[in-house]
Structure 1
C-alpha cells in the first residue's frame, strides 16, 4: 500500500478592524519600530512561508511602506457582521482565506515572533483531528494568537454570530481543541489596548536595545521622595538577586561623595555602583538626558535606576505631587499615586512589591 502524504496550507489572518475605543486612536496605525503595529507585524510574518495573508480591517490600512511584493499578496477584507468584535473579523477573513489552517493574530501583539507557529508547522501536515491549536500563557488562553482549521472554524464562527455570541472562546465548544502549554514567553502575547500599555511596550522595546536596561524616577520638586523611593527599590531588587546601579542627576559642580548623601544611601541599600551626573559630566554637544543614559550604560549592573527631576531618560516613573511634572508626559509610563487616567499606569506609594514587579517587567522582559 502506498502511503498518502497529506499536505496542509497555512494562511495568516491579522485582525486590524477593531474600534480601538480604549486606545482612542487606530491601534493598527500606532508607530512601532519605524513602521506601524500592522506593517511591522506583516514584515515579521515573512519569517514563515504563509500561503495567504488576509488583513481584516474596516478602513483601508496604509500598506505603502511595505515591500511591493509583500503588499501585493495581502488581501484586505471588511466585516460583514459589523460591531461584533473579533468574531466579525474572523468570519470575513475565514471566508476570504482558502488555506487549510489559519493563524489568527490580533494586530496589537508587538512582541509576537511567530516561534510557536514554526514549531507547529510540521504537525499541520500530519493531523486532521485538531480544529484549534490554542496557546496558553500564564494559565490564560490566547484565542487571538491561535491556529484554526479554516472550514471548521468558519462554521463555528458563523453559528456563534447567528446566536448573538461575541466572545471568541465561545466557538471552542464546537471545535476539537489542542491546548499548547509550551506556547512561548508571556511577552509574546502582551497586547496594547490602552495608551499606558502602548507606552509600556515602547519602554520594553527601548530597554531591549540597551546593554543595561533603565528606569528613571522623577518628581516635580526636590524633597518629594525620589531618593527614598530609589533606596527602597534598590534594596528590594537587590534582595531578589539583581545587580542595581544608581545614577543621580545634580546641578552641582565638582560633586564629592560624602556619608549620608543620596549616592551613599543607594550604596548602603545594595547598589553595585552609585554615580552623580552634574554639569561637568555632560560632554560637549550632549544633553543631560543623553549623559544620564550614557552613564547607565557604563555600569556593571543588571538594571540602572536614574533619579532626575526633569531629565530622566525614558521610561520614567513619576512621583505624583501638587505641582505638574517638569518632564515630558510622553516619557512617563507610570505614576506613584492614585488615579484612573488610561494614559498612565498608577501604583500606590506603599506597593513596593508591585512597583518592583513593574520595573522588572520594563527591564527584563
Structure 2
C-alpha cells in the first residue's frame, strides 16, 4: 500500500513564448477547454498543498479566487525562461515543487501521482531521462536545489539540464530511465503539426 503523500506544491508553467506554434500554446483548444485549464486541472487533482500558475502578466489566463490557485507572473523586463519561472515558484513555496509544462497535454495525473509526488523522506528532486536527456519540464524540484538554480540565473546560464546533472551529482536529485511506454506522456506540442498528430 502506497503511503500518503508528503506535503508538496505543484506549478503549471504556461508563460512560454510559443514562437514555433505562432500562437499561445496555453490557449490551444484541447478536448473542450483551453490547454492551460486542462493541465491545471491535472495538478489540482493530485493532492498538492499549493497550486501555482506561472505565466506572463499579459496572458488572458484567469482563475477564480475560489480555485485556490496562486498566479506567479514572469518579470516584464527579462526573459529567464523556465529556469526563472521554476526558481520563482520554488522560492515562494519553500517545499518540494512538482512542475508541469503547459505543452505536455498527454501527461496524465495518474503518472504524476505515481512517479513524481513525494511519498518518503528524505525528499530529493526526481526526473526522468529520455533519449534526449533529462525531462526538465515535468519533474520534482526541491528547495535544496535552489542555490544551484539561483547561481545559474545570476550567471545567465538558463539551461536546466546542467542544473539537474549537478543536483544528481550532489545527491540532491535522482533520475530514472524513461520506459518506452512512458515516453508519450512527455511529448511536447510545439507546432500545429504536433497538435494534429
TM tier relative to shorter chain: 0.7 to 0.9
Q: 1:182: Cα distance to partner? A: 5.3
Aligned residues: 186
Q: 1:138 to 1:47 in 2, by over 3 A?
A: farther
- Unpaired runs of at least 5, structure 1: 1-6, 201-365
Task: Write out per-residue CA displacement over residues 161-220 of structure 1, whole angstroms, 9 at most, x where no aligned residue.
Answer: 1111011112124412211225662110011111211222xxxxxxxxxxxxxxxxxxxx
Counterpart Cα distance in 2 of 1:52 and 1:139: 31
Residue 163 (str. 1) matches residue 162 (str. 2): no
| Correspondence 1:1-365 to 2 at 5 A | 8-59=6-57, 60-63=59-62, 69-70=66-67, 73-80=68-75, 82-98=78-94, 100-120=95-115, 124-128=118-122, 130=124, 132-138=125-131, 140-149=133-142, 151-175=143-167, 176-181=172-177, 185-200=182-197
Asked whether the equivalents of residues 138 and 186 of structure 1 are also in contact (C-alpha less than 8 Å), the reply is: no
Asked whether the equivalents of residues 160 and 170 of structure 1 are also in contact (C-alpha less than 8 Å), the reply is: no
Q: 1:17: Cα distance to partner? A: 0.8
Q: Give the superposed CA RMSD.
A: 2.4
- After TM superposition, the score normalised by the length of structure 1 is 0.47
- Unpaired runs of at least 5, structure 2: none
Q: 1:121: Cα distance to partner? A: 6.4
Asked whether the equivalents of residues 54 and 96 of structure 1 are also in contact (C-alpha less than 8 Å), the reply is: no
Asked whether the equivalents of residues 103 and 145 of structure 1 are also in contact (C-alpha less than 8 Å), the reply is: yes
After the TM superposition, which parts of structure 1 deviate over 4 Å for at least 4 consecutive aligned residues? Answer: none
- After TM superposition, the score normalised by the length of structure 2 is 0.83
Bigger relative contact order (CA 8 A; separation at least 6) = 2
Counterpart Cα distance in 1 of 2:25 and 2:123: 35
Counterpart Cα distance in 2 of 1:147 and 1:121: 6
Counterpart Cα distance in 2 of 1:53 and 1:121: 15
Counterpart Cα distance in 1 of 2:60 and 2:144: 28
Counterpart Cα distance in 1 of 2:130 and 2:61: 31
